[in-house]
Each structure stands twice: as structure tokens, then as C-alpha cells.
Amino acid sequence: MTEINRPGSGHRPLAGLTVLVVEDEVLIAMDINETLEEAGAEVVYGRNLRQGMQRLEQDLDVALLDVTLGRSETCLPIVEALRARGVPFVLHSGDLQRLGETISNIGAPVLEKPCDMGMIIEALQEAVGSAQPGAIRSRG
Amino acid sequence: MSDQAHRSTRDEHGKEFDRARNQAQRMPIHSESGVLFEQAMAQTRMAICLADPNLPDQPLVFVNRAFRDLTGYEEEEIIGRNCRFLQGPGTDPEQVRKLRQAIANEDVVVVELLNYRKDGSAFWNALHLGPIYNEDGSVRYLFGSQWDVTDVHAARADEKHARMMEREISHRMKNMFAVISSVVTMTGKLDDAEELAEKINARIRSLGRAHEAMLEVSFTEGPTDPHPLFRDLLLPYAPSGEAGLTLEGGAVPLDSNIVSVLALTLHELAINAVKHGAYSVPEGHVRLAWARETDAEGEERLRLDWRESGGPVPEGPPKRRGVGTTIIRRMLAMGDGEISHDWRPEGLRVEISFPTSL
């Protein structure tokens, strides 16, 4: 599968950015976090809503949020907190059919699982770029 | 039961008693039992009717308030008619036939019929019907009691639907894992990496088996017995089958995240046992025990205790950490989990713990 768009070594499109990742499936989180770190980002990780809220105390540039967290929680409280702080974010969900309305109400870019890692990096770059015009907007 | 029965005023109750008394008086029932009958009929929430088998077409001669509430008909619309007026297009003729047969044989029968109210709405009627005899042994009345079991029917239909969905999901999931497996194998062959492809496939198969085993419980809440899951995961690797595996522990919460972590972790431990440990010899044995415990912060954790025995004396920690060990170490670290290895002379012991809220 040569078309997988993973950043090679030396290519660090997220260098200098601190990214919050909230994702309850630890295997998926493992893959995402390593990829983002390889892309130069500093990753702050929360595996549930409580941890995600705790991580908000850190200085964040952008966030990638799994919409459903655990059995009954969603990332909505984190969304509100990020909006209040002016931190851009991208939603990541494997459940678009069931969560369609919740997601469209949030009004943020959405990535559908399973998602190519290159697209995640690109979406995070775009989110940062649109939040701070003139800031990192390189799409190497 | 309808709201109407609750709303009825004392006046209505008075009328009800009068009506029941009049009807009872029309019937040759002993006076004391007649009074008891009229009061019982007026108060019971069970819809009750009497039909006279000695009149042409066996008409209803008495119905109580609950019967009128259930069917929506007034008394004058009911008395004198055969009770088949409650039937409609959805009524199963087979059940009606059963009912007629029972009446002819003077049997007691219980059938479930789809009946129709005056307003046309349907309800499932659990009808109990039996003969009431005269002193001379001839049939005096047919006694019918009916209960609206529409809710029960709906629940049964929901259950059936849920089971169908489970089968469908199970089928699709198996297919999906099979397709993924084929893609991996094909890619491995074409890219000259068959060995790597097989390693990947073994992990995918473990995940598939684990999630398959959990399908039946995935729709239920709360802790679940993980024995079937652990057996499915580990038995394929035990050289002597059941004799080579002991499982000890109670129910644990098994959300899909936990199932994935357990599947990959136990897969790596089993593979390692086949290569270097207890499962490399026919008499090798693994005992897996587990328990839930609460840590200092009040978070619930699952603790697993893996003990190998009967195999070769372990050589100690490997010089280089394998891919499998690296994967489970990183995975557990992400979820605030822990893993520790102890290479004892009798066999490897591994202790694992991670939060059940994973």
C-alpha cells in the first residue's frame, strides 16, 4: 500500500505546535500520537472526557477530538472550552451516521474514521491556518 | 389499563354497581354469590365477559367495565352479539379455530388474538375462555377474561429484531476482518513480505475472534463473564487444549476498547509462550487469573495474572524487545496501564493492570 501518505523523516509540517488529542480507543490514539510526533508536534493526550478537560490547562495550538468518548460521553464540553480559549479543533468520528446532528451543530471540520494519517495532519494545519491568518499555513 | 378507569367518579362507580347488579339479577346466580360477583366484576381491572352457549350464535350476555374500556364499545353495542365482532383483518384464523374447537369440547383455552377496538385500533388480546357449568353438568356460560398484551408483543418483536441485527453485525464483522486479512496477505505476497503479512494477520485474527466473542454481550450494560473471550483467544495456542489452560476470575466490564487491549495483549503472551515458553511443549500450562480492584485515586482497574508452568526454564529477559512486546507496552502506557515480567524458574509470570474506564 504505497499510497499511504505518511510523512517521511525530516518532513515536519507540525513543528512547533502543541496538539491536544482526545481519543478513547488507545490503539488508534497510539497510531495518531506517534504520527503527529513524527510530524514535529508536541502531543498532549487524554483518553477520556475527564483527562481531556484536564489537559486544557496546557498551552494548546490545535486539537483533534474523537466525538464519542466512552459509552455515553461526547467531546462537547471540550469543544466549548476550546471555543472559549480560541483554540481551533478538528473532529474525528467513526459514527457520522448516528452523530450527524451533534456534529453538524458543532460546526467544525470533520474527519471520518478510519482516516489516512496524512489527512489528519493536513486538517490540523488548515485549522491552525484559518484560526490565525498568516500563521503556519505551509502545505508541503 | 386505561386512564378512564382512574378518572371514574363515585357516581360512575355507583352506576357501575347498579348495572352489574341488574345484570347479575337477570342471571340465575345464588343471591350472595351474585353480590360478590357484581362487586368483583366492577372492581377488577381484568376485562371479563360471559357468553350464553344456549342462545343462537352464543351472544355475550355480560361484560364488565374493564371490557368496555379495553374495547371502546358501549354496553348496548356489545350485549347480544357474538364476540367475533372484535376480530378483524389481522386476526389469525388458526387461533380462532382453536377457540371454536375448545368451546365445542368444553375445554379451557388460552389464545392470543389480534383484536380491534371500536376506533379501529388493534391490540393483542390474551383471551382465557372456559365453560361454567349448571348443577346438572350442562354448560351454563362461557367465561372469558382478556388481557391487553400488546406491550408484551412489542417487546418480543424488539428482541427478535435485536437478535437479527446481532447476526447481521456479526456477519458483516467477520466479512470485514476476512477482507482486511486478504488485503494484508495479498500485499505481503506482492511486496515480498509474506512473513510480515502473516504476523500482521495473526494479530488481526485475534482482534476478530475477541470482538466476535463479545458481540453477544456488547449490547448489554455492566460487567460480563470474560471466560468465553479468554478461551477463544488462548485455546488455539494451547498444545493440549483445555488441559493446558486454567481461567480464574469473575465478571469484568468489557467495552470494545478493553476487548481490543485484552485481545492484543493475550495474543502476544500466547505467541511468546508458543515460541519460548510453556506452550512450546505438550504438557505446558497457563493459568490466567483476573480481578477488579480500586486504585489510590478511586479508579477501578483490571488486574491480570499470567503464570506459565510445565515448560522449559526461561532464559530471562530477551536481549532485544520484540515487536509484540513493544506494541503492548506502548498501548498499555497510553491507557495508564502497567505490565511487569518475572522470569521464574517454573515459568514466566506476567502481571498487567489497566483502568476499566479505558
B290 in Cβ contact with B304 (< 8 Å): yes
Q: Strands B285-294 and B300-309: what pairing?
A: antiparallel
What integer pLDDT is reported at residue B221 of this predicted model? 59
Using the predicted structure, report yes or no on whether residue A135 has a pLDDT greater than 60: no
Of B147, B75, B153, B152, the closest CA to residue B118 belongs to B75
In sequence order, the β-bridge partners of residue B305 are B289, B351
- Answer yes or no: do A25 and B357 touch at CB < 8 A: no
- Answer yes or no: do A25 and B260 touch at CB < 8 A: yes
CA distance A79 to B73: 57
What integer pLDDT is reported at residue B6 of this predicted model? 45
CA distance B245 to B242: 6
For chain B, give the percent of residues with pLDDT over 70.
89
Nearest to B357 among A1, A25, A70 (CB): A70
pLDDT digits (tens, 9 = 90+) for A2-27: 444 454 556 799 999 999 999 988 88
Is-cis flag, bond preceding A133, omega within 30?
Answer: no
- Answer yes or no: do A25 and B336 touch at CB < 8 A: no
Using the predicted structure, report yes or no on whether residue A41 has a pLDDT greater than 90: yes
- Residues from A contacting B (CB-CB < 8 Å) are 1, 24-27, 29-30, 33, 45, 47-48, 70-71
Looking at chain A, which residue has its C-alpha nearest residue B254?
A: A71
What is the per-residue DSSP string for B324-345? Answer: HHHHHHHHHHHTT-EEEEEEET
- Please report residues of A whose CB lies closer than 8 A to that of B261: 26-27
Q: State mean pLDDT over B297-314.
A: 93
Using the predicted structure, report yes or no on whether residue B290 has a pLDDT greater than 60: yes
C-alpha cell at B281: 511443549
C-alpha cell at B169: 453485525
CA distance B324 to B267: 9
Q: State mean pLDDT over B324-349.
A: 91
Residue to mutate among A2, A21, A23, A26, with most B CBs inside 10 A, is A26
- Please report residues of B whose CB lies closer than 8 A to that of A71: 255
What CA–CA distances, in Å, run from B174 to B213, B230, B266, B303? 11, 19, 20, 30
What integer pLDDT is reported at residue B208 of this predicted model? 84
- Answer yes or no: do B335 and A71 touch at CB < 8 A: no
Using the predicted structure, report yes or no on whether residue A136 has a pLDDT greater than 50: no
Q: State mean pLDDT over B293-308.
A: 91
pLDDT digits (tens, 9 = 90+) for A65-92: 999 887 778 999 999 999 999 999 999 9
Mean model confidence pLDDT for chain B: 85
The domain at A18-131 falls in which architecture?
Answer: 3-Layer(aba) Sandwich (3.40)
CA distance B89 to B116: 9
- Answer yes or no: do B187 and A26 touch at CB < 8 A: no
pLDDT digits (tens, 9 = 90+) for B5-56: 444 444 555 565 566 556 655 555 556 677 777 778 878 888 999 999 999 9
- Answer yes or no: do B335 and A25 touch at CB < 8 A: no
B48 in Cβ contact with B145 (< 8 Å): yes
pLDDT digits (tens, 9 = 90+) for B128-174: 999 998 888 889 999 999 999 988 888 888 888 887 877 777 777 77
**Is the CA virtual torsion B165, B170, B173, B174 positive or negative?**
negative
B108 in contact with chain A, both atoms CB, cutoff 8 A: no
What integer pLDDT is reported at residue B118 of this predicted model? 94
pTM of the entire predicted model: 0.62
Q: At what angle do helices B227-234 and B194-214 cross, to 10 degrees?
A: 160
Sheet containing B338-344: give its strands across. B245-248, B285-294, B300-309, B347-355, B338-344
Looking at chain A, which residue has its C-alpha nearest residue B257?
A: A25
- Please report residues of B whose CB lies closer than 8 A to that of A47: 334-336, 358
C-alpha cell at B183: 488485503
B330 in contact with chain A, both atoms CB, cutoff 8 A: yes
C-alpha cell at B128: 382465557
Query: Distance from A47 to chain B by nearest Cα, in Å?
Result: 7
- Please report residues of B whose CB lies closer than 8 A to that of A25: 256-257, 260
Weakest-pLDDT range from A104-108, B210-214, B288-292: B210-214
Nearest to A47 among B256, B264, B334 (CB): B334
**Cell 473532529 sits at which residue?**
A91
Query: Would the ipTM clear 0.85, i.e. be above it?
Result: no
Using the predicted structure, report yes or no on whether residue B307 has a pLDDT greater than 60: yes
Q: What is the dihedral of CA B178, B184, B187, B193, to 10 degrees?
A: -140
pLDDT digits (tens, 9 = 90+) for B277-289: 999 999 999 999 9
Weakest-pLDDT range from B147-161, B174-188, B322-336: B174-188
Q: State mean pLDDT over B66-86.
A: 93
What integer pLDDT is reported at residue B131 of this predicted model? 92
Weakest-pLDDT range from A28-32, A76-80, B269-273: A28-32
Q: State mean pLDDT over B104-124.
A: 92
In B45-84, which positions are buried (b, 16+ CB within 10 angstroms) versus exposed (e)?
ebbbbbbbbeeeebebbbbbbbbbbbbbbeeeebeeeebe
- Answer yes or no: do A26 and B264 touch at CB < 8 A: no
Q: Name the band, by pLDDT with cuts 50, 70 and 90, for residue B188.
A: confident
What CA–CA distances, in Å, run from B235 to B177, B201, B228, B267? 20, 18, 10, 11
Q: Name the band, by pLDDT with cuts 50, 70 and 90, for residue B219.
A: low
CA distance B279 to B78: 77
Query: Distance from A137 to chain B by nearest Cα, in Å?
Result: 30
Using the predicted structure, report yes or no on whether residue B246 has a pLDDT greater than 80: yes
CA distance A65 to B334: 16
CA distance B86 to B106: 22
A113 Cβ contact partners less than 8 Å away, ≥ 6 residues apart:
A28, A92, A93, A94
- Please report residues of B whose CB lies closer than 8 A to that of A29: 334
Mean model confidence pLDDT for chain A: 84
For chain A, the domains span: 18-131
Residue to mutate among B257, B323, B330, with most A CBs inside 10 A, is B257
What CA–CA distances, in Å, run from A121 to A4, A104, B65, B223? 13, 22, 71, 38
Amino acid at A130: S
- Please report residues of B whose CB lies closer than 8 A to that of A26: 257, 260-261, 331, 334-335, 358
Using the predicted structure, report yes or no on whether residue A138 has a pLDDT greater than 50: no
Q: State mean pLDDT over B223-230.
A: 89
What integer pLDDT is reported at residue B165 of this predicted model? 79
Which residues 181-210 in chain B show a CB within 8 A of chain A? 187
